[in-house]
Structure 1
Amino acid sequence: MGGEEAVPESTGVSVELLAAVDLAGEIDGMEGRQLRMRMVTIEPGGVFGPLHDHKGRPGTVYVLQGTVTEHRDGAVAEYGPGVGWKEDRHTTHWLENRGTVPVVEISVDIVNQAPQ
């Protein structure tokens, strides 16, 4: 990752688990995995970091409020209310709220149920 900007640590972020489904017995081969839905709030000036990947943790994001700035592979993209972005095995990113209102997003992903 040489030459890229420094990635700040998380600040001004809250995460609420809305729902989860144990996938063992639902889909063959999904033992130990969970489908979860979370509401993530990033306050103005907040950062959802550090730089992280989604290997083994695919998901999608829907933005309810505000505009979130995503930093991915040296590119910057902004997402306002509506469908956001996918998070797959190729995703390495971090997020920030450059706006004046809280960003509220719904994140749905498949995770390993082991404590993280």
Structure 2
Amino acid sequence: MADLDHGTSNTSEPNYVTIDLPFHSAGETIEVLASIALRETTLPEGSTPFDGREMRMRRVTLEPGGVIAAHPHDNRPAILYIAVGTLVEYSTDKDVAIEHAAPAIVVPTAAHWWRNAGEHTAVIIGVDLFDPATDGAPAGIV
């Protein structure tokens, strides 16, 4: 519970707030949905080391019948969460296309592209280690 000093002093002294901080969680559940072992990830020669990168999270929408162009992930490790819709992923390391229906987690390991095979707009939440020095991928590439 916070204790507020509601004094009416005209001095420049601030009013202090005391807060009882919780040091133990209650009612919380944590589940790791996906991870990338960076120590085991080999980046292409000449690319920016991990300490020069930015971690970013993006929300990408894809209309029915829409396509996200083919792109690699060798220089941009990513974890993707398909939050809404049904997407078909075509990948250079798989012989067949894979349909992902929300909710789904995808960790791309090869060049791939997406098609929205559903009747509704799909939503992808993507988290990646972006290399601002060398990654010229358009904003919609996930």
- TM-score range (shorter-chain normalised) is 0.5 to 0.7
- TM-score (ref. length: structure 2): 0.55
- Show the counterpart of 2:78: 59
The structure with the larger Rg is 2
Indicate the structure with greater strand content: 1
Match of 2:115 among 93, 96, 109: 96
Provide the identity percentage. Answer: 35
Give the distance between the partners of 1:83 and 1:65, measured in 2 at CA. 9
Taking the TM superposition and a 5 Å limit, the aligned residue runs for 1:76-87 are: 76-87=97-108
1:38 equivalent in alignment to 2:23? no
Relative contact order (alpha carbons < 8 A, sep ≥ 6): 1 or 2 greater?
Answer: 1
Structural RMSD (CA): 1.5
Aligned residues: 85
- Show the counterpart of 1:47: 67
Gaps of 5+ in 1: 1-28
Runs of 4+ with deviation above 6 angstroms = none
- TM-score (ref. length: structure 1): 0.67
